[in-house]
Structure 1
Amino acid sequence: MIVDRIERAIVARADAVRARSRPIDHIFRAYARYDGIDGTRLAAATAYYGFFAAFALGVLAFAVVGWAIPGSSKAGLDAVQEYLSGNLPQLDADSLTKASARIGVLAIFALIIAGVGWIETLRSSQRALWCLEQHPGHPVVRWLLDLAVLAVLGGLLLVSIAVSSGLRGVLLGLRDQAEDVLVPAAAEGFVTWTDAAIAAGVDLVLACSLLAVVPRLRMPFRRLIRPALLVVVGLGVLKVIGRWFITRTQHNPAYENFTAAAAAVGLLLFMYFFHQIVLFAAALAATSNRGVVYDMSRRPKRMVPDPEPNAPTLTE
């Protein structure tokens, strides 16, 4: 059959490329691991919980800022709105602000449950990629640990908002002072690129947390950094597409009565593709040979066994 011959030729060509290039071979092995556990389906399930968790974290962020610094809540809320507009443009910051003003105890519990569900699904999906027990330990202890991880990620979110807002204020001040020395376009470009670098640094910290803290693994930085950078780049691309999508829907008369629905669909797609990127990055980390990885969910800690002992060892 011609089709079989073409398929054999493609496979032979791919094997030849893999034999010549270790990075490409690593990508093939990572995709095989990702596809072997139905990574696309797991990304869809995780995105479902992430969809609700995004609203949960957004509402809680506004509520915490409003409660913690009521005297200067305007500046804090503006910082949160600016952060969400840049990182999750599909979320309506004004609606979240109004929701946070009416938040109650029952609502907080509902939001926590949504967030913990997201952490649990993301943790179990990543541990499946590492060929580890997906739900380690006692259920109650495991739920509390997932809650603690959610709190850590929420704290990182608030800290990143504060740092980004503070550094941006400093940069804008420097730009105003340098207007007499620098060309306005150059000063504005400096602020834009520096702001982008700060955002990438914040995203890198969050990516490392998602890939190591959530699945409860300890791995060398050299094994973690490349998958984390993939998450940062992928997230940056999704942000650009998200802002373009929201701009198109807001200025398109056809979507005038469906702006909220379009934003919800956009957020769901954003979460779906983002979790695909995260899970593939986790597959890259799981199939890497750089350093030793420990499973922190066990007492005493256990070294994660290499499921591919015959894979080439990368020493660079």
Structure 2
Amino acid sequence: MIPMPREDTPLWDDSEVLECVMVVPEAPDVKSFVFRPPSGATFLFRAGQFITLDLPLPGGVVSRTYTISSSPASNAYLTVTVKAQVDSIGSRWMMENLVPGMRLRAHGPGGVFHLPRQPDGKYLFISAGSGVTPMMSMAAFLFERGEEPDLSFVTCARRPSELIFRKRLEYMAGRIQGVKLHFVVGQDEPYEVWTGYRGRFNQLMLGLMTPDYLDRDVYCCGPDSFMQSVRDMLNGLGYDMSRYHQETFHAPVERVEDIEEIDDVIPQDRETAELDFVLSGVTSLCAETDTILTVAKAAGLNIPNGCNFGVCGTCKVRKRAGQVHMVHNGGISEDDIEAGYVLACCSHAIGRVEIEV
């Protein structure tokens, strides 16, 4: 039996192994693993940080880094929540082999993606898939610290059953007024009612969910393509990106000086672009901040259009060459984008671009 921590219990350091004391299924191919030190030592970490586990695979020890999903306020234990992808090695081993009673060597905690020491501000958490794990630690800490938080929490998944921590988040939001939840799914479950948001998370959803997003610190975690789309929409809406923080699935950063500067493409009104409407034989110079639709209309060309906000898809045209910056709101599929199509109402030319109009 693992002893309960005492008031004089020392802090855990990575010279001591961790023992798995509980395994909790969370969603399809997702489990939470709860660890405690055999000595009963307590943990000290920041909400959002990670820990590295040495996994004894048959071919040798493999080290894997996982975000801590439990709150630092609950310092008697530490939890990591793992989603096993088809090609994952360490995570798949944990899902199939790690059971209560097993002991692992661990290193950390570490990482710079975390809340400030006094998290008294207004926050917007945006996550997708297992990117919700650091957000869960942060949200639980805000919930448990004894002060009413001001948190808008957005999490996205392919379907409702894949919303990790859904019940736990709903419990917190049902106990205090300062946590507002917003779930987004790509598709419904068969024969089940879903009344939340559907489709791709976009600017329209953001405005409906959190009208005061410009006043909040944003924390984002998910696949690279998801985080890129979030940055694009925030840049397009004039958000102060110095208040934006993100974590990556692949290589969590341990030191502030190691944070890679993100060089997003942002259309500039002082930069000139050139649009070549190849089917009409018309070439127009414009600012990068001008949309393809605006330039086409000014040149006397007709591109069918409707919403002018990237929703309806009416203004879809094919890009033959060049770079376009597009922030749409669900009006075009990934397959169409890969095939070279863009929405004229929310696309901006960067340099010279050829459009089939």
Q: Which has the larger radius of gyration?
A: 2
**TM-score normalised by the chain length of structure 1:** 0.22
Which of the pair is proportionally richer in helix?
1
Higher relative contact order (CA 8 A, sep 6+): 1
Structure 2 length as normaliser, TM-score? Answer: 0.21
Flag the structure with higher strand content.
2
